[in-house]
Amino acid sequence: MSVQHALTDFLENAQSDVSQLATFSEHIPDEWVQSAAALSSQATIRRRRLPNDMVLWLVVGMAFFRNEPIAEVARRLNICADGLADEALLAKSALTQARQRLGKEALKWLFRQCAQRWGAERYPDDNWQGLQVFAIDGALFRTQENTELREHFGSGNTVGPRQTPYPVLRLVTLMNVRSHIIMDADISPYRKGEIPLAQPFIDSLPNNSVTLLDKGFYGANLLMNITLGGSNRHWLLPAKKGVVYRVVDARDSNDKYIEMTVSPQARKKNPDLPATWQVRAVTYEVANKEKTVFTSLPKEQYSAEDVAALYHERWEIELGYRDIKSSMQHNAMTLRSKTVELVYQELWGLLLGYNLVRREASQAAIAHGRAPNEISFKYACQYIASQLRVMSKALSPGNTPKRLQALRGDLSVLFIEKRPRPSRPRAVKISKTRYPVNHKASPLK
């Protein structure tokens, strides 16, 4: 039986057994939800029929039902303080006003409160040679096209007359590589770079850890802060082309120490940086091509082969972005909100929804003696979305995080076998244009 068929059969059986819903565990304490709701941009004394705590769950629910209108999401989750909501209460304008009252800070605070707690949780065999493994990377999301969003977020090629068809925002995250839970995140307009967004994450890194990055994060200030900001904290990233260095230890040409000059720009931002710094350069071969990575991991403890193999785990954060954009957003490239405040709110809710799935998947994996990243995110997300449909008839949206423990035994159908990442040649992306691309155009003859 295929995973998809097993999942379908289980969901059909679950729809007839709502009585077990009361045994679900609590992921998010009620006091966290109330604290987040209290951060709404518009304070109110009276108890509304669409209160902030309910609207908060509506925004999270939007992450699980991307292809459905927001009014339908509200109806499914029964977003109302007084039982079933009427048509006027679920009107598009009423829901938009409720989301505007809530604002973005509530979702942002709740995401970070949960992320810091869940991302630091330990699981069996969740380390690499005694070190926890994290990754930092960025991704782009596009928004609806209007003047307010374009002026705030900007887009590609904004210096010249040509621009991307949609405004674009930048997301940078810190992920626990073994559980795939996002520990921290920040969102900004497109024009802000990844390194400034990642800099505050350094304080969140625990001792005895290694952080994987791509070459876009190459910078002495960021990397040295990782090692100097804690005990036994290390980093690993691919070598950047054109870097000028001096070989310090050349006894092994494929595993050597090099010395580089810290740029004047970096020392201007941080006068405490030294004039030079040393890093370890490990060279290895992949598909008959030489690759080099820089790292702070010392030779005495970590072999070149192990370091080279570890770097390939950086792909796990790319899989996390794929899960968000493909499994949760159903490949819808554009966020649905149309104002700056609600775009931020929607994306924070999307990240919180992603972490809810990942944490439940991690808990289920441990119950079955498996690794957290061995559960199919796609099917786990479908499973939880289906449960939300069923459970909304019996429980209020505020109880949404309490519904999952009793069904963990049935999540065994969601395990997948880990396969090595296929090696494909890099492809040149299509050039940016202000005109939409017609994918249905007839081929030239």
**Count of other CB atoms within 10 angstroms of residue 445:** 3
List, in order, residues 6 or more apart from 229 with CB less than 8 Å away: 202, 203, 205
Distance CA 198, CA 17 (A): 45
Residue 337 predicted with pLDDT over 70: yes
Q: pLDDT averaged over the chain?
A: 79
Distance CA 201, CA 311 (A): 20
Alpha-carbon distance values, 409 to 156, 221, 360, 385 (Å): 47, 47, 12, 17
Q: Supply the DSSP string of 388-416, one letter for each residue.
A: HHHHTTTS-GGGGGGS-GGGGGGGGGGB-
Stretch among 150-159, 247-256, 323-332 having the lowest mean pLDDT: 150-159
End-to-end CA distance of the chain: 45
Backbone φ and ψ for 134, nearest 5 degrees, come out as: -125, 165
User: Alpha helices, DSSP H only, in 126-240?
Assistant: 147-153, 194-198, 220-228
Report the pLDDT value the prediction gives residue 77, as an integer from 0 to 100. Answer: 74
Instruction: Output the pLDDT for position 304.
Output: 93
Using CA atoms of 136, 112, 105, 92 in order, give the dihedral in degrees to the nearest 10: 90
Mean pLDDT of the 236-263 span: 87
Please count the other Cβ atoms lying within 10 Å of the Cβ belonging to residue 260: 15
Please give the model's pTM, rounded to 2 decimal places. 0.82
pLDDT at 1: 40
Nearest Cα to 214, choosing from 179, 156, 269, 172?
172
User: What pLDDT does residue 257 have?
Assistant: 92
Q: Output the six-digit token pair for 139.
A: 């991704």
The confidence band for 432, taking pLDDT boundaries of 50, 70 and 90, is low
Distance CA 217, CA 136 (A): 9
Is the pLDDT score of 12 beyond 50?
no
Region 241-255: mean pLDDT is 83
Ordered by start, the domain boundaries in the chain are 3-109+341-414, 120-318
